[in-house]
A and B are shown apart, each in its own frame.
Chain A
Amino acid sequence: MRRFLPWIILVGAAGWIAANWLPPKTAKDDFDLTRFGKIPVLVGGRVKPLDTAARNSLLIIHGKQELRLEGGRRLGAMQWLTDVLFNTPVADQYPVFVVQNAEVLGLFGWEQSDRKYFSFAEFAPFLRQIDEQGNQSDKLEAVQRSAYQSAILNLRNGLVLYQRLKNSIQPEGTQNFAAELQEFESSLPDALRAARERESAENVDKAKLNEVAELIQRYEKLSEMAYILAVPLLGQDGDWRSIGDSLLHSVGAGEIHLAVSEYAMIGDAYRADDPSLFNQHVGRMSNWFIKEQPSATKRTSFEFLFNRLQPFSQSMALYVLAFLLACASWLGWNRPLNRSAFYLLLLALAIHTFGLFSRMYLQERPPVTNLYSSAIFIGWGAVIVSLILERIFRDGIGAACAGAIGFITLIIAHHLAGSGDTLEMLQAVLDTNIWLATHVVAITTGYSAMFLAGMLAIIYIVRGAFTRSLKKQTADSLARMTYGVICFATLFSFVGTVLGGIWADQSWGRFWGWDPKENGAVLIVLWCAMILHARWGGFIRQRGLMIMAIFGNVVTSFSWFGVNMLGVGLHSYGFMQKAFLWLVGFIVSQLALMAIAAMPLERWRSFCTESVSARDEHPQISSALSAGQTPGR
C-alpha cells in the first residue's frame, strides 16, 4: 500500500484533471456556442476569440467569468454575450452589475440588503444620474477617490461597456437585421444616384434618399458605440472594422461585407430560436475565417481551448494538495507522503508550464508583460527551484515550499485578472522582446528566489518554534538551502536591476532615474548584499539568517506591489486599494514571524526538547558555509 500510494494519488489527480478537461457535449439541436465562441474579433487591439471577449467583459462587469441566475442556473460567458449581442430584452434582465456600496444604492433610493447583483433594466431609469456622478469622480486621481466615488465610477464604466457591447453587432433592439441590411444594400445604387442628381438639381426621389440617410445615421451611431471590431479587412493584415463602420464603407463599395451579413443572419436565427439555422451560419462564417484568416483563426481556436482548460486553476488545486501532503509527511509516514507530494507537484508544474507557454504563444511575447503574468512567472520559477531543492534534500521542505508558493502566487494572479484582458497589448516603450526577455525575466526570477528563501525561513521558524519536528540535521539543511537561494536571488536581482538600467539608458537616456520601481529593485539587491555580508562577517548565524530572509519577503513585496501603489513614476499601474490592505496584512504577518523567531531558544519547542543550546547551533552552520567566508576574516 505504502509503495503504491504516490501512484494512486497521482493517477487520481490526473483523472480529476482529465475529467475537468473533457469538452462539454453540445446536443445537436442546440446552439453551437463553442464554434461561435472561436470566431476571431478585435478587442483592445488584439485579435481574440469571441469567447475571450465574452469572458473578459463579464469579468469586468460582473467580477466572475460565469453568471449564476436565480434558481441556481449557471450561464456561461458565451451564452451571456450571445444574449447581449442579439437578444437585449433578455440580457437586460440578467443580474450582472455588482453594487455593494450603500451610498451608491442610496442614490437610487435602495436600501442595502443581501442582494449585490443588479440587472441593467433596474438601472435604466438612473443612467443619466450615474453618468453625471461617474464623470465627477473620473476627474479625480485614483488615489483621491472615496469608496463611493470608486464604486460609482466602476458602475458607470460597467454600464458603458455593457451598452457598447449591445451595439457591437447590430443596433440594439433590431428585430430583423438581415432584412434591414438587404433593403439597405438594394437601395444603395438608387440612393447614390439620387444623391448625385440632387447635386445637379434635377428631380430627386426624396423618400428613397431619406430612407437611406436614416439608415446611415443609424450605422454611424453603431460604429461609434461598437466595442467589438468584428470585420477583418481583406488583404490588409491586422486591420479590422466594426460592423457599423463596415456598413458605412459599403456605401462606397456598393456591397455589404460577408461577415456583416452572416452576423446579421446568426443574430436573427438566434432570436427566432432556430438552432439549426444558427449553426449553419456560424459554420459558414467559421469556414470563411479559416480560409481568409488562417493564422488568426488557428490562434483564436487555441485561445478558446486555453480558456476552457483554465490551467492555472487546475494547478492551483494541485499545489494546495501537495502542500498539505508535504506538511503531513513531517508528522509521520514520511516517505510515501513525501513522494506523493513530489509527483503531484510535477503534474501541477506541467500544467502550470503549459499555461505559461500558451500565454507566450498567444501573445508572441516573453513570459512577463504585466503584473498578472509576473505572478504566474514568480510562482513558476519558485516551484522549479523548490523542486530542485526537494530532489537534493528529499525531506519534504522543497515540496512544501513549492506547494505554498505555487498556490499563493496563482491566487494573487487570479485576483489581478479582474481588470479584463490579461494578454493586453504593450505600451510602446515596452514593445521590445529582448528587454522583456532579459530584464523582466531576471528581475522576476529574483523575486521568486527571494520569496522562496522567505518561505524556507518560515518553515524553519514555524517548525522550530511550534513543533518538535525540527531536528538539527533538518535545521542545518534548511539553513543551507536558504543561504543558497539567497545567493541565487542576489545574482538575478542584481543582473535584472542593472539590465533595467541599461534598458532605461537605451530608451530614455538615463541609466538610473530613481523611479520607484527601480528603487524597489535596488532595495532587494541591497538587502541581499546585507544578508550575505552579515553572514560572512559572522554577525548573524542560523536564526539571524532566517529572520533576515523573512524580512526579504517584506522588501520583495514592497518592490513587487508597494511601489506601484504610490502612483508615481513611469512604472505605476494605478492605485490598488484592495491590494494595499492585503500588502499591509502580509507585511504585518512577516514582522510577527520575525518576532517569533527572535524569542529566546528555550521557548522553541524543537530546541528545548533536544536541548540544543545557542552555542551548539553555530559550529555546524559556519562549517557548512565556510566556502562563503570573506577574505581576511
Chain B
Amino acid sequence: MWRRLVDLFTSLKLTIICLAAAMVLIFAGTLAQVHLGIHEAQQRYFQSMFVWWPPEGRGFKIPIFPGGHLIGAVLLVNLIAAHAKRFRWAWRKLGIHLTHAGLIIMLAGGLFTDLFAVESHMRLAGGDTKNYSEDARRMELAVIDTSDSDLDQVTAIPDTVLRRNRTIDHWSLPFRIVVRNFYQNSRLKMLSEAGNEARPIANQGPGAMIAVEPTPRATGVDERDVTSAAVEILPKDGGSLGTWLVSDALGSPQTFSCGGRTWMITLRPARYYKPYSVTLQKFTHERYAGTDIPKNFASRVTLIDPERSVNRDVLIYMNHPLRYRGETFYQAGFQKDDQATILQVVHNPSFIAPYVACVIVAAGLLVQFGFHLIGFSRQRRSAIA
C-alpha cells in the first residue's frame, strides 16, 4: 500500500496529469472571468480546492474539477517526492535539479502569498493625512464610543460575522446588535424615487427614508460591491433603540446615545492601522499633448513615523513604489478629476520568492538545454567526420 502510494506520488504520469489539469483549469478560469469578473473567477477556480457546480434550483453543489490549490499542492508534493526518491548527484543533472528546486520555491511562495499577503487601499485627497489603509473587498461595522474627547474607542465587527451571526454581543458594548438584513451588494434609493412598493428596512436616522434594493455581486475590474445592512440596537438593560441602516453608500456615521455615552455607528471598508501616517501633498496626472493617453501619475506624500523619527517627502509614481516597514505603496489610481489619489498598499512577506525562483529556474533551464546543445553539436561533428 505504502509502496503504491509512493509510486503514485513520484510518478511522471501524475506530473503530466497535473500539468494538463492546470491548463484546463486556467483556460476555463480565464473564460469565466468574462462573466464572473477577475476576482470572483479567481476565488472559484484558482484559490479553491475544487471548482463547484451548483445545479440550477438545487440547494447542493457538486465538485466538477480540482481547483488551483488542490492541483498546486499535488504538483508540489509530486515534485518534492519524485526528487526525494530519485535524487542522485550528477553534474549532468544539475540543470534539472536547479529547475525543479526553483519551481518548488515558486509554488511554495505562491501558496504563502495566497495565505499571508494583504492588499488594501489608501485614498487621499489633497492635504489628507491617514494612518490606515482600507480593504476594498472586506467591510466592517464600526461602533465608536466618542464620549472621551481625546480618544475614540472603536469596536470593529467584520462583515463575515455580520453575514453569519444574527446577534452580536460584545463585552465592550452596553448593547447587543441584531442583524435584521444583510446585502452583499445593493443599491440605495430615496423612498420618494423608489416607487410605491418600496419599504425602508430601518426606522431610525436617514435609513428610514431609504429603500434598499439587493443587486448581484459586482464583476467588473473597477466595480465594487455596495454592502448594506439593517441592524437593531438592543440595550442590555432592556428596550430597543430602533433599527438603523448602515451602508457603504451612506457617507458619515450615525449617532445615538446609550448607557449615558454617545456612540457612532457605520459600515465602512475594513481598516488596517499603521504606526505611521501618510499625507498627500500633491497628485499629478500628466497626459500626452493633444490626447487623453496618460503619461504619468505621481503622488507626492509626506511620511511621518514618530517611532522611528522619520519625517520626509516621497514621490510615488508608476513603477516606483514606496517600500516602508514591510509594506509597499503603489500608485494605483485617481479620483475626482485628479484631486485625489489612490495608493495600493501591499503587505507580502514572501514577495522575494519569485525573484529567487526565477533566477534559479532560468539558470537550471540554461544549464540543461546547454548540455543538450553541446551533446547535439558533438554528435553532428562526429557524424560529419
Instruction: Indicate if B361 sits at the interface (CB-CB under 8 A).
Output: yes
Interface membership of chain B positions 23-61, coded 1 if the CB is closer than 8 angstroms to chain A and 0 otherwise = 100110111011001100110001000000000000000
Shortest CB distance A263–B (Å): 17
A480 to B287, CA, bound (A): 51
Shortest CB distance B251–A (Å): 28
If the complex has contacts A428-B294, A429-B318, A487-B369, are A516 and B16 also in contact, measured as CB distance less than 8 A?
no
A468 to B272, CA, bound (A): 71
- CB neighbors of B among A472-497 (8 A): 480, 484, 487-488, 490-491, 494-495
* Chain B: interface residue total (CB-CB under 8 A): 72
Instruction: Indicate if A189 sits at the interface (CB-CB under 8 A).
Output: no
B29 and A533 within 8 A (CB): no
Residues of B contacting A512 with CB < 8 Å? 110, 113, 354
Instruction: Indicate if B330 sits at the interface (CB-CB under 8 A).
Output: yes
Instruction: Indicate if B135 sits at the interface (CB-CB under 8 A).
Output: no
Main secondary structure of the interface of B (DSSP, over half): helix
**A434 to B, closest residue via Cβ:** B319
A513 to B113, CA, bound (A): 11
**B372 to A, closest residue via Cβ:** A627
Instruction: Indicate if A336 sits at the interface (CB-CB under 8 A).
Output: no
Query: Of B16, B23, B321, B375, which one neighbours A534 at CB under 8 angstroms?
Result: B16
Q: Which of B151-159, B210-218, B343-351 contacts A (4 or more CB under 8 A)?
A: B343-351
If the complex has contacts A514-B42, A567-B34, are A427 and B294 also in contact, measured as CB distance less than 8 A?
yes
Residues of B contacting A510 with CB < 8 Å? 117, 119, 346, 348
Query: Of A43, A432, A523, which one neighbours B319 at CB under 8 angstroms?
Result: A432
A569 and B38 within 8 A (CB): yes
**B86 to A, closest residue via Cβ:** A632
If the complex has contacts A502-B355, A506-B321, are A522 and B26 also in contact, measured as CB distance less than 8 A?
yes
Q: Which of A27-35, A323-331, A399-407, A524-532 contacts B (4 or more CB under 8 A)?
A: A524-532
B380 and A630 within 8 A (CB): no
A424 to B294, CA, bound (A): 12
Which among A229, A242, A505, A536 has the highest number of chain B CB atoms within 10 Å? A505
Residues of A contacting B287 with CB < 8 Å? 45
Interface membership of chain B positions 367-385, coded 1 if the CB is closer than 8 angstroms to chain A and 0 otherwise = 0110111011001100000
Contact count band on A: 35 or more
- CB neighbors of B among A511-548 (8 A): 511-516, 519-520, 522-523, 526-527, 529-530, 533-534, 536-537, 539
A45 and B288 within 8 A (CB): yes
Interface membership of chain A positions 559-590, coded 1 if the CB is closer than 8 angstroms to chain B and 0 otherwise = 00001001111100000000000000000000
Residues of A contacting B161 with CB < 8 Å? none
Instruction: Indicate if A431 sits at the interface (CB-CB under 8 A).
Output: yes
Residues of A contacting B119 with CB < 8 Å? 509-510
Instruction: Indicate if B365 sits at the interface (CB-CB under 8 A).
Output: yes
Query: Of A44, A526, A558, A630, which one neighbours B96 at CB under 8 angstroms?
Result: A630
Residues of B contacting A425 with CB < 8 Å? 288, 291, 293, 295
Shortest CB distance A412–B (Å): 22
Instruction: Indicate if A95 sits at the interface (CB-CB under 8 A).
Output: no
**B357 to A, closest residue via Cβ:** A498
Instruction: Indicate if A235 sits at the interface (CB-CB under 8 A).
Output: no
**A517 to B, closest residue via Cβ:** B30
Residues of B contacting A555 with CB < 8 Å? 23
Query: Of A499, A530, A632, which one neighbours B16 at CB under 8 angstroms?
Result: A530
Residues of B contacting A495 with CB < 8 Å? 358, 362, 365
A568 and B221 within 8 A (CB): yes
A420 to B362, CA, bound (A): 38
Residues of A contacting B264 with CB < 8 Å? none
A435 to B366, CA, bound (A): 21
B12 and A566 within 8 A (CB): no
Shortest CB distance A285–B (Å): 20
Query: Of A431, A530, A567, which one neighbours B23 at CB under 8 angstroms?
Result: A530
Instruction: Indicate if A210 sits at the interface (CB-CB under 8 A).
Output: no
Query: Of B37, B328, B369, B380, which one neighbours A488 at CB under 8 angstroms?
Result: B369
Shortest CB distance A511–B (Å): 5
Instruction: Indicate if B162 sits at the interface (CB-CB under 8 A).
Output: no
Instruction: Indicate if B255 sits at the interface (CB-CB under 8 A).
Output: no
**A487 to B, closest residue via Cβ:** B369
Residues of B contacting A239 with CB < 8 Å? 289
If the complex has contacts A568-B33, A628-B372, are A509 and B361 also in contact, measured as CB distance less than 8 A?
no
Shortest CB distance B109–A (Å): 8
Instruction: Indicate if B339 sits at the interface (CB-CB under 8 A).
Output: no
B31 and A566 within 8 A (CB): yes
A413 to B125, CA, bound (A): 44
If the complex has contacts A428-B295, A509-B346, A520-B30, are A526 and B22 also in contact, measured as CB distance less than 8 A?
yes
Total contacts A to B, CB within 8 angstroms?
Answer: 188
Residues of B contacting A508 with CB < 8 Å? 330, 332, 344
Residues of B contacting A40 with CB < 8 Å? none
If the complex has contacts A484-B372, A526-B19, A563-B30, are A511 and B351 also in contact, measured as CB distance less than 8 A?
yes
B362 and A530 within 8 A (CB): no
A563 to B37, CA, bound (A): 14
**A572 to B, closest residue via Cβ:** B221
**A565 to B, closest residue via Cβ:** B34
Shortest CB distance A587–B (Å): 13
A537 to B78, CA, bound (A): 15
Shortest CB distance B326–A (Å): 13
Instruction: Indicate if B167 sits at the interface (CB-CB under 8 A).
Output: no
Shortest CB distance A111–B (Å): 38
**A45 to B, closest residue via Cβ:** B288
Shortest CB distance B159–A (Å): 22
Instruction: Indicate if B163 sits at the interface (CB-CB under 8 A).
Output: no
**A536 to B, closest residue via Cβ:** B12
**B45 to A, closest residue via Cβ:** A514
Instruction: Indicate if A71 sits at the interface (CB-CB under 8 A).
Output: no
Which among A484, A508, A569 has the highest number of chain B CB atoms within 10 Å? A508
**B33 to A, closest residue via Cβ:** A568
Instruction: Indicate if B88 sits at the interface (CB-CB under 8 A).
Output: yes
- CB neighbors of B among A424-473 (8 A): 424-429, 431-432, 435
Instruction: Indicate if B15 sits at the interface (CB-CB under 8 A).
Output: yes
Residues of A contacting B366 with CB < 8 Å? 491
Query: Of A505, A523, A533, which one neighbours B351 at CB under 8 angstroms?
Result: A505
If the complex has contacts A507-B319, A514-B42, A569-B221, are A519 and B288 also in contact, measured as CB distance less than 8 A?
no
A491 and B369 within 8 A (CB): yes
A628 to B376, CA, bound (A): 11
A505 and B354 within 8 A (CB): yes
Instruction: Indicate if A291 sits at the interface (CB-CB under 8 A).
Output: no
**B379 to A, closest residue via Cβ:** A624
B27 and A523 within 8 A (CB): yes
Which among B34, B37, B86 has the highest number of chain A CB atoms within 10 Å? B34
Instruction: Indicate if A248 sits at the interface (CB-CB under 8 A).
Output: no
B288 and A480 within 8 A (CB): no
Residues of B contacting A509 with CB < 8 Å? 119, 321, 328, 330, 344-346, 348
Shortest CB distance B377–A (Å): 9
Instruction: Indicate if A238 sits at the interface (CB-CB under 8 A).
Output: yes
B30 and A431 within 8 A (CB): no
Residues of A contacting B294 with CB < 8 Å? 427-428
A514 and B19 within 8 A (CB): no
Shortest CB distance B277–A (Å): 20
A431 and B296 within 8 A (CB): yes
A491 to B358, CA, bound (A): 11
A558 to B23, CA, bound (A): 12
Shortest CB distance A536–B (Å): 7
Query: Of A480, A499, A566, A628, which one neighbours B30 at CB under 8 angstroms?
Result: A566
Residues of A contacting B30 with CB < 8 Å? 514, 516, 519-520, 563, 566
A347 to B296, CA, bound (A): 41
A567 to B119, CA, bound (A): 25
The 8 closest A-B pairs by CB, nearest first: A45-B288, A509-B346, A632-B86, A498-B358, A537-B12, A627-B375, A428-B294, A45-B291
Can you report 8 A-B residue pairs in the complex whose CB atoms are below 8 A from each other? A428-B296, A431-B318, A495-B365, A505-B354, A506-B319, A507-B321, A509-B328, A513-B38
* 6 more A-B residue pairs beyond the given contacts A490-B365, A509-B321, A630-B12, with a C-beta to C-beta distance below 8 A: A425-B291, A498-B106, A501-B358, A569-B33, A627-B376, A631-B96
